[in-house]
Amino acid sequence: PHAYAALKHAQETGVNQTVQYHEKLTEQIRHRTLIEVYLRSALKENQLSLQYQPQYELQTGALRGFEALMRWNHPDLGCIPPSDFIPVAEETRLILPIGQWALRQACETLQRLAPSPSTLTISVNISGIQLLDEQFPTQVSNALTASGLHAERLELELTESSLLDTLDIAERQLKSLQSLGVRLALDDFGRGFSSMNYLRKLPFHLIKIDKSFIHDIGNATEHEVTGSMIQFIKQMKYGIVAEGLETYEQLTYLRKLHCDFAQGYLFGKPLQDNQLSTLINPV
Ligand code: C2E
Ligand code: MG
Ligand code: MG
Ligand code: MG
């Protein structure tokens, strides 16, 4: 039934050790083509959904909000992870309609479950293709109007790699978004090699430290790198979110360094929208 999972397993383990390179390549192309073909109808067939991972304020323990993460459940292929379909969506530009759907869905869900005066936030991942789309700031503004969500409660997450190629346009777009009043977060910080000199020119409010650096906490030789990184970001007056928080040791360390917010399996996995109300309205 779950052809995709089987295909993936075969790919990863190698059906047998003698599989030829070109056969693997053919398999990969077939697999990618399959994703592309099915992705074209995923949106209108209602196969896409969002899950929401809670983020907490580290000093007080209060819920800050959620990051929306896309999920694709195909009737034959099963669940396909974003790391497999987002790149295909970007190459085919299907990320434009899909990303717009996610933005609207995320704003509507938060406003429905936590209407004002709640100040809980919703973070939405934005691909570079979307950022460079001329219509994007208008789409964001429309999503806010349609949902009634206050601009300050929407956070857009961008990665370094989505900004690098076309810095001029990216900068202009980020400034229009800033003027709408939404928050801007730089995702996966530390994974790329951008110079802080140019990142500082961009109007980001927050920096999300890549989970690989969080996982280094507890590693005797590496944790100081994470510590220095946090101090450095704080000195530049950015808010900091740690992602991929899994252990109490990491939590203690992040609190000691006054990291602002964190999300990760220690606090909770991404949840369906119907599971959020107990977090939003604790008894
Ligand atoms: P990301 O934005 O950096 O999201 C964080 C990823 O870490 C998510 O993976 C999340 O499920 C996972 N995660 C959360 N807590 C933990 C933890 O404690 N340990 C570990 N090991 N992982 C944790 P996910 O959901 O598979 O998403 C992967 C990536 O796909 C995202 O990375 C983001 O770059 C992209 N993505 C997801 N949804 C969207 C979307 O709606 N639009 C766009 N453009 N990209 C998306
Ligand atoms: Mg993210
Ligand atoms: Mg990230
Ligand atoms: Mg990422």
* Measured distance CA(267)–CA(59) in Å, rounded: 14
Q: How far is the CA of 118 from the centre of ligand 1 (A)?
A: 25
Q: Which atom of ligand 1 is nearest to the CA of 208?
A: 3
- Top pLDDT among 35 and 198 is at 35
Q: How confident is the model at residue 168 (pLDDT cuts 50, 70, 90)?
A: confident
Whether the CB of 250 sits within 6 Å of ligand 1: no
* Measured distance CA(2)–CA(88) in Å, rounded: 20
Percent of the chain with pLDDT over 70: 92
Whether the CB of 14 sits within 6 Å of ligand 1: no
- Top pLDDT among 230 and 197 is at 230
Q: How far is the CA of 1 from the centre of ligand 3 (A)?
A: 32
- Top pLDDT among 51 and 33 is at 51
Whether the CB of 86 sits within 6 Å of ligand 1: yes
Residue 271 tokens, joined: 């949840």
Cis status of the peptide bond prior to 117, with omega within 30 of 0? yes
CB 60 within 8 A of CB 67: no
* Average pLDDT value for the chain: 91
CB 161 within 8 A of CB 190: no
Q: Is the pLDDT of residue 17 over 60?
A: no
Q: pTM for this structure? A: 0.92
Q: How far is the CA of 160 from the centre of ligand 3 (A)?
A: 11
Whether the CB of 82 sits within 6 Å of ligand 1: yes
pLDDT in tens, 209-228: 999 999 999 887 788 889 99
Best mutation site among 47, 48, 66, 69 for ligand 1 pocket (most ligand atoms within 8 Å of CB)? 69
Where is mean pLDDT largest: 8-22, 166-180, 213-227? 166-180
Q: How confident is the model at residue 30 (pLDDT cuts 50, 70, 90)?
A: confident
Q: Which atom of ligand 1 is nearest to the CA of 127?
A: 44
Q: Is the pLDDT of residue 203 over 60?
A: yes
Percent of the chain with pLDDT over 90: 76
Best mutation site among 243, 246, 261 for ligand 1 pocket (most ligand atoms within 8 Å of CB)? 243
Residue 6: the pLDDT is 65
* Range list of H helices, the chain: 3-13, 21-42, 82-91, 95-113, 128-132, 136-147, 161-164, 167-180, 196-199, 211-215, 223-235, 248-256, 277-280
Mean pLDDT of the region 70-77: 94
Residue 83: the pLDDT is 95
Q: How confident is the model at residue 102 (pLDDT cuts 50, 70, 90)?
A: very high
Q: How far is the CA of 61 from the centre of ligand 3 (A)?
A: 21
Mean pLDDT of the region 170-177: 95
- The mean-pLDDT minimum among 24-33, 45-54, 93-102 falls in 24-33
Q: What is the ipTM of this complex?
A: 0.97
